Structure 1
């Protein structure tokens, strides 16, 4: 009998499935709490929100940085996937506008992981090399489509847009940070639409 068959008959396959669900819940909970509460989020709070014990968290993620690495990768890939979904469902300028609002949520989570991301960077983690081109490439595609459709100004440059978006990372923290950031993104989008062919 194959290993696969042995695993299925012994029930180990179901256990792996449960473990995967626990892992997924931990990653989702961590992303939500890092975004909402920032750097002070405790691993105990993440485990509690995921409905598992702290021992389960440590079995999947032996260090805070191990969890951060998976959450960060998930956030970047979610932005890429959102662009594909929005492009299918929205006009090019609206797809860009909604994607930029989702970028605010990505930045919120990134701010919450800041210190651990710095540790990962200093440890030469391959995470950044593997994910560095995803967001610029995704944004370039969205901007190009909106320009080609005449929905935003012809001289719009995705590099400039990304610089403007990334500036919200350094904005002063506060209870209204997210709303201020969303307002700035709306203003940026208004500027991109100004003078477009329509």
Structure 2
């Protein structure tokens, strides 16, 4: 029995590698087959046994949540990177392209998120709480610089873009989402 003040064990290198490989395989399978992709398919793509997946993710929802959180972290990292590297209007457009790819390849998550399963209830807030702050900083900086329409919240922009992105947006923003950005930022030069 482990005591509460005993140090937590670090994962072995192969266990960490397996976790990353499983999450990447699940992401790929979910994008292709939806979140109901067979666990055997995910295990085969990852090159691990099905038991490895169930040992780490006892419920399908555990795996879906882990993939979702990992992808949200990537979208947030993208927002922080472009915020540092570009003026606000350029950063927002570049980040919106990343968001479009995220939304287009995660259509299967929508069904899970709206399924009523309590495991997914916190995920929209996780998304907004993780991605919202850097997006709000870009919006605020652009409003101060006069290059972005003022008074827009990150939550409103994220929700609008997420709803307007086309299924074909894996190549970037287009259609109504592009029109929304053009109205917020002005047409592309």
TM-score (norm 2): 0.75
* Structure 1: runs of 5+ lacking an equivalent: 1-11
Of 118, 122, 127, which aligns to 1:123?
Answer: 118
> CA RMSD for the aligned pairs?
3.1
Of 169, 176, 182, which aligns to 2:173?
Answer: 182
**CA separation in 1, counterparts of 2:53 and 2:113?**
19
State the Cα distance separating 1:134 from its structure 2 match. 2.3
Paired residues for 1:5-154 under 5 Å: 16-118=12-114, 122-123=117-118, 127-128=122-123, 131=126, 132-154=128-150
CA contact (8 A) 2:98 2:172 kept: no
State the Cα distance separating 1:150 from its structure 2 match. 2.6
* Structure 2: runs of 5+ lacking an equivalent: 1-8
Of 169, 194, 198, which aligns to 2:186?
Answer: 194
Whose helix fraction is larger, Structure 1's or Structure 2's? Answer: 1
State the Cα distance separating 1:20 from its structure 2 match. 1.0
Larger radius of gyration between Structure 1 and Structure 2: 1
State the Cα distance separating 1:125 from its structure 2 match. 5.9
| Residue in structure 2 matched with residue 8 of structure 1 by the alignment | none
TM-score (norm 1): 0.73
Distance 1:138 1:35, change over 3 A: farther
